[in-house]
Amino acid sequence: MLRLSNDDVARLFEEIADLLEIDDASPFRVRAYRTAASTLRGLGREARDMVAAGEPLTDLPGIGKDLAGKITEALSTGRIDALETLHRDVPPSLEALLRIPGLGPKRVRALYQQLGVENLDDLRAAAAAGRVRSLHGFGKKTEQRVLDQLAAQREKKHRIPRHEATPQARDLERRLRDIPGVEQVVIAGSFRRGRDTVGDLDVLVTAASTDLVMARFTGLPAVLEVTARGTTRASVLLRSGLQVDLRLVPPESFGAALHYFTGSKAHNVRVRRLGQQHGLKVNEYGVFRGGERVAGDTEESVFSAVGLPFITPELREDQGEIEAAQQNRLPRLIERGDLRGDLHAHTTASDGRASLRAMAEAARAAGLEYLAITDHAADQGGPRPMDARRLREQGEAIDRLNEELHGITLLKGVEVDIREDGSLVLPETVLARLDVVIASVHNATSLPRRQQTERLMRAMDHPSVTLLGHPGGRFRPEREGYAVDMERVLRHARECGCFVELDSQPRRLDLNETYCRLARERGVLVAIDSDSHDRRDFANLDGGVLHARRGWLEAVDVLNTRPLHELRRLLRRTH
């Protein structure tokens, strides 16, 4: 059985539901797949473990015999025949429309049936001509948003978020490693460097049989189109729209090729120049002195040949890593195992989807020793915002639960909204009783730069504020962030004793990597938090740590690498 997760199967079911809706199928069928996807995502254990134990999937809510069979099919083969049939029936170009934010299946069907829109070019032409606004449920604002999104896609050359590319990348790795004779499989490029968006995937393989690898690769179920194929290289377009380039590399060149295709281009140029200074030629085939290959089987050998220690892929952006390596000043980057706790999590008390106990147990299962419960307190919006009474009751529940729990300690906290004038929506008398107070902006994100900056600084001046939550305001794809003088904000954080957050939620990853490095230089501790709203969200921490590594952060630069007793001491010193 393949190692597909519940989330992997749920994604296949949601794709079926989307295509059924475009195909104008019965709403009951569509709803059945969406309900099944939701059930899988909310399941406390993996469906593959249930199947392995012989437990009937039909015992799960919303899962009948047909859907149970499709789950088993997906777990066994990595695909669902019904989905493959839909891919043949629904034009692939229509699937591309679903990747435009704001265009769900119903709107895609309306565009297709009423305006004859079959692809992105048709959509761009219809919106530019003002025809999209004429459709029921669209309007002028929606039409303009469509145009803006199409322009942004063209600008970004169809880069997709890393968290969307990761399941596809891991599936490719698994399938390629299963091919007889394959020895090494590594995904290089910006994916390996840990960038938070990916334009394509570069896959390097060493194998005994090139023909077999090429045949299996180009015949994968996820492949929509083979755009190029040779004896050692092939390019395909996946049904998701992601391009994948595969290269078969001889073992003696694998390290050189891995370095070359990992990039970045600017980093590679610097390494080649260092090679030239040593009388060497560095390229994707190896390191050569004249006609003799002197290195290239491993990346370590490439770096050593030009007088450098190994530089981890996350740092290879020509942002000072060469000089740091030459001076033996490369940071000892933080690792996921360095995190002792998480200071940002939500429960069903506000907008979370799991209870206090369930979140505590999930945090412990994720290897954490402490967890701050920080449900929302807001003037408006969001379900059941926390107030003084509800925070007191939650605090009492936390005290009771801490007496029962082993291996995890819950901290009392809140995520409190920052008003436009920099004040907070809860009084100091309430906040002072909490262990952790995260002050965050959730509205008025379009304020002028100076006003937004001063708003954040005033919030940090509140004596009980522990953390400035997701400080840059990034929330993709809606916005890259608000206008703010982050250098000034970080300087003020240092002065007033406040900490700043790296929110690991994939749509945020904020602080961005540039400001992570600036926080380190300014001596401001960063908290890498999951912003969990569900038991599974603690996996966000992996992406947050990767992002922090790109920002040169070491364990000592991160607040929640401290054991609980030291963390409490630091929290008491705030302000």
Domain map (residue ranges) of the chain: 6-156, 160-248, 253-326, 336-573
* CA separation for the pair 434, 571 (Å, rounded): 10
* CA separation for the pair 311, 326 (Å, rounded): 11
| Digit-coded pLDDT (tens) for 387-400 | 999 999 999 999 99
| Digit-coded pLDDT (tens) for 362-411 | 999 999 999 999 999 987 655 578 999 999 999 999 999 999 999 999 99
- Of residues 575 and 489, more confidently modeled: 489
DSSP 563: -
The pLDDT, as a whole number, for residue 429 is: 95
The radius of gyration computed from the CA coordinates of the chain, to the nearest angstrom, equals: 26
| Digit-coded pLDDT (tens) for 200-213 | 999 999 998 888 99
The pLDDT, as a whole number, for residue 1 is: 45
The pLDDT, as a whole number, for residue 134 is: 86
| Digit-coded pLDDT (tens) for 16-68 | 988 888 887 888 888 899 888 888 887 778 888 888 888 899 988 889 999 99
| Digit-coded pLDDT (tens) for 116-139 | 887 777 888 888 888 888 888 788
Instruction: State yes or no: pLDDT of 237 exceeds 80.
Output: yes
The phi-psi region of residue 78 (left if phi > 0; otherwise alpha if psi is between -120 and 50; otherwise beta) is left
Instruction: State yes or no: pLDDT of 154 exceeds 70.
Output: no
Mapped onto helix, strand or coil, the DSSP state of residue 397 is helix
- CATH class for the region spanning 160-248: alpha beta
* CA separation for the pair 144, 304 (Å, rounded): 53
The pLDDT, as a whole number, for residue 152 is: 67
Instruction: State yes or no: pLDDT of 560 exceeds 80.
Output: yes
* CA separation for the pair 151, 508 (Å, rounded): 21
The pLDDT, as a whole number, for residue 382 is: 54
DSSP 419: P
> For the purposes of burial, counting CB atoms within 10 Å of the CB of 116, is it exposed (0-12), middle (13-18) or buried (19 or more)?
exposed
Helical ranges in 278-406 per DSSP H: 299-305, 321-326, 356-365, 388-404
Annotation: CATH topology of 336-573: TIM Barrel (3.20.20)
Contacts of 293 (CB under 8 A, 6+ apart): 252, 285, 286, 287
Contacts of 209 (CB under 8 A, 6+ apart): 180, 181
Closest residue by Cα to residue 479 from 437, 514, 508, 439: 508
The pLDDT, as a whole number, for residue 142 is: 82
515, 484 Cβ separation under 8 angstroms = no
Closest residue by Cα to residue 512 from 543, 545, 551: 551
Mean pLDDT within 505-517: 94
Chain-centre distance for alpha carbon 289: 42
Range 6-156 has CATH code 1.10.150.110: yes
* CA separation for the pair 426, 448 (Å, rounded): 25
Closest residue by Cα to residue 131 from 145, 121, 117: 117
Q: State percent of the chain over pLDDT 70.
A: 96
Sheet holding 281-283, edge to edge: 281-283, 286-289, 292-295
307, 274 Cβ separation under 8 angstroms = yes
Mean pLDDT within 270-284: 96
- Over the range 506-532, which residues count as b (16 or more CB within 10 Å of their CB) and which as e? bbbbbbbbebbbbbbeeebbbbbbbbb
The pLDDT, as a whole number, for residue 287 is: 97
pLDDT band at 570 (very low <50, low <70, confident <90, very high): very high
Q: Which H or E run contains 227?
A: strand 223-229
| Digit-coded pLDDT (tens) for 424-471 | 999 999 999 999 999 999 999 989 999 999 999 999 999 999 999 999
CATH superfamily to which 253-326 belongs: DNA polymerase, thumb domain (3.30.210.10)
Strands 467-468 and 182-187: unpaired
Angle at 383 between CA 377 and CA 388, to 5 degrees: 35
Please report how many Cα atoms fall inside a 13 Å half-sphere around the Cα of residue 27, on the Cβ side.
1
The pLDDT, as a whole number, for residue 573 is: 65
The pLDDT, as a whole number, for residue 120 is: 79
365 φ, ψ to 5°?
-65, -25
142 φ, ψ to 5°?
-65, -40
The pLDDT, as a whole number, for residue 272 is: 96
Average pLDDT across the chain, whole number? 91
Beta bridge partners of 409: 370
Mean pLDDT is lowest, of 224-233, 275-284, 500-509, for 224-233
Q: Which H or E run contains 31?
A: helix 27-42
| Digit-coded pLDDT (tens) for 515-546 | 999 999 999 999 999 999 999 999 999 999 99
